[in-house]
Amino acid sequence: MTSDAYKLKREFLEYLEIEKGSSLKTIENYDRYITRFLEFIKVKDVKNITDENVREFRLFLNRQCAGNNRQTGETLKKKTQNYYLIGIRGFLKYLTKKKIESLPAERIELAKVPERQLDLISQIELERLLSAPEGNSLKSLRDRAILQLLFSTGLRVSELCSLTRDLNFSAGEFSIRGKGSKIRVVFVSEEANKSIKEYLKNRKDMDDALFVKIAEEKSINEREGLARRSIERIVKHYAIKAGISKRVTPHIIRHCFATDLLQNGADIRSVQMMLGHSNISTTQIYTHITDKQLQEIHKRFHSKK
């Protein structure tokens, strides 16, 4: 059985694509992480990968300048460094699975990263944002439907961009293929459903996409459907209009969706399913918000004796 590092790397990427159903972006990232590692350690036979190779590569990553920050001297964030280590560990686990001798994956420990802080807006700010698209122009109707649907469903922006107009929104739910090609059910509020109906009723085009550019937004030969950056610009525009000084993105609306569910009594497992998280530890970041709320209640109402 071959132990050629680059040949095995290619087989690992094919394994991710065919057997694991990983997205093209995930495969590209893994390819970049592992290739950079192999080029750095200059090892052609996976049997020769050592703890020392990994240690030296970690030092190399830790001293790398981040992006275009060579002048400021800012180095790669620990989270970014961990992406490389996760890619290498995945490759080594694959080798173990194939019974190919190499460094055991568990020998690679991830760097400790600071606890993630959630960017959130208040309930009042959220209400101002959702009501910011005023009037009955097609643009206002479309943008109101976008904001309402984001908050109603907790969709990722990429998932929102993939929606088609033939979905039966009036059913109050629909299936979406999310990250890792996993299918989940999302739920549509009456308010969001009403906004979508009003928007579609005023559409004159025949494009399949749910959300499309209006006439003044189009340029020649440009696709009709809204892309990720367009949705992000729309959210930013209405956040400014609503007088919200914080940075607001579609992902922050997704955060608001999750915390709203938890603060109103939803259990963590249900929220995990609605967000489409494969690992509950990803969802547990939101419990810090509700823990803080409980702490405030404890201070206000618990006996002072």
Closest residue by Cα to residue 51 from 103, 95, 112: 103
Q: Tell me if residue 179 is catalytic.
A: yes
Taking the CB of residue 286, how many other CB atoms lie within 10 A of it? 23
Distance CA 25, CA 248 (A): 25
3-state secondary structure of 284: helix
Set 156, 199, 238, 255: catalytic member = 156
Set 30, 94, 238, 286: catalytic member = 286
Q: Which residues contact 202 (CB under 8 A, 6 or more apart)?
A: 136, 138, 141
Q: Tell me if residue 142 is catalytic.
A: no
Q: Tell me if residue 184 is catalytic.
A: no
Set 165, 197, 236, 251: catalytic member = 251
Q: Are 112 and 225 in contact (CB under 8 A)?
A: no
Q: Tell me if residue 223 is catalytic.
A: no
Taking the CB of residue 52, how many other CB atoms lie within 10 A of it? 9
Residue with tokens 């910011």: 132
Q: Tell me if residue 251 is catalytic.
A: yes
Set 9, 213, 254, 255: catalytic member = 254
> Which residue type occupies 183?
I
Q: Tell me if residue 288 is catalytic.
A: no
Set 179, 184, 194, 236: catalytic member = 179
Distance CA 178, CA 101 (A): 35
Closest residue by Cα to residue 143 from 106, 196, 102: 196
Catalytic residues: 156, 179, 251, 254, 277, 286
